[in-house]
Amino acid sequence: MKRAFVFPGQGSQTTGMGSDLVKAFPEYVTYYDRAAEAVGEDLYRIINSADDTKLTLTQFTQPAILTTSVIAYEHTLKTTDFRPDALAGHSLGEWTALVAAGVLKFEDAVRLVHLRGKYMSEACPPGVGTMAAVLGLEAKEIEEVLSDFENICLANINSPGQIVISGAAADFEAVETALNAKGAKRFIRLTVSGPFHSPLIESAKINLKKEIDLVHFNESKLPIYQNVDAKPHTAPEVIKENLIRQITSPVRWTEIIQNMVNDGVNEFYEIGHGGVLSGLIKRIDRSVKREQFDKFSKE
């Protein structure tokens, strides 16, 4: 039996996430204090504000999710006998995995994902790029259609029949028509601040690389299945390079889960707020055990 911890990415956030845990265990608020010093904003206040405007800004969403997930990870270690044999995270969630594996210090990770969000938002002018979820087609079928659209690409290969595409907003009406003709069941435009995981945000990759190169990365204590190639890595230089490539490359979540299962993982624990990843894992492989932090942490 092998166990994996998986960490959610952007889109899992909600107002008040993690606050019940902090109220029950006030010592965890120190993580938000440390994060506030790193990014110059009170993330706990942003998370618990009735107005979620700031929480929806990528440069605050990303460190808020990471901090909440790190607290969930620490709480899991303290209150259960669950220990992971492998780690993975969906896009932003990969950074939480780095903290859990001892690759990055918490403060360094918070500061870098704050900049990651900032650079990603600034990389493409508002309205120029966007994203959409395509349901009912497989990645290869979508790629066949996208071969006619130079400025649109696969962004998230989430599960069989659930793929996200990213790119130039001007082409999305035409690509929607083409995908529907191919047999797509639904085409859902996403409310995002940019065309993430696409070449249109190349400048974000360049800017983040400069910051990442200044930070020390340790050897990972556990194999981390990374987004860009869905393979396990522990070497710091490889992990660092894959993080940079991730900005403009697709998230290969389906392959990550399949590779983990092939390597003997049969229990998955979603560590963080919500159950997005548990739902995706169920679609990828119904035979494996799936547990959500929000459920087992209340037991």
Q: What DSSP letter does each residue of 130-196 carry, written as one string? A: EEEEEES--HHHHHHHHTT-TTEEEEEEEETTEEEEEEEGGGHHHHHHHHHHHT-SEEEE---SS-T
Q: How many whole angstroms separate alpha carbon 113 and alpha carbon 97?
A: 13
Would you state the pLDDT for residue 298?
Answer: 66
Q: Is 84 exposed, middle or buried (0-12, 13-18, 19+ CB in 10 A)?
A: buried
CA dihedral (78, 84, 90, 91) positive or negative: positive
Q: Which of 197, 220, 233, 249 is catalytic?
A: 197
> Helix 202-212 crosses helix 236-246 at what angle (to 10 degrees)?
150
Q: Which of 69, 75, 90, 91 is catalytic?
A: 91
Contact 4, 84 (CB under 8 A): yes
Would you state the pLDDT for residue 193?
Answer: 80
CA dihedral (247, 250, 251, 255) positive or negative: negative
Q: How many whole angstroms separate alpha carbon 34 and alpha carbon 73?
A: 16
Q: Give one DSSP letter per residue of 151-167, joined into a string.
A: TEEEEEEEETTEEEEEE
Q: How many whole angstroms separate alpha carbon 147 and alpha carbon 238?
A: 30
Q: SS3 of 227, please?
A: coil
Whole-structure pTM value: 0.95
114 is catalytic: no
Torsion of CA 160, 161, 162, 166, to 10 degrees: 110
The two counts, helices (H) then strands (E), for the chain are: 13, 10
Q: Is CATH 3.40.366.10 the right assignment for the domain spanning 2-123+199-296?
A: yes
Angle, alpha carbons 119-238-102 (nearest 5°): 80
Domain ranges (residues) in the chain: 2-123+199-296, 129-189
Q: Is 267 exposed, middle or buried (0-12, 13-18, 19+ CB in 10 A)?
A: middle
Running along the chain, 299 residues long, what does each successive block of 10 average in pLDDT? 94 86 94 94 90 85 95 96 97 98 98 95 92 96 97 97 96 97 96 91 97 97 98 98 97 98 98 95 97 82
Q: Return the CATH class of domain 129-189.
A: alpha beta
159 is catalytic: no
Q: Choose among 74, 203, 189: nearest CA to 131.
A: 189
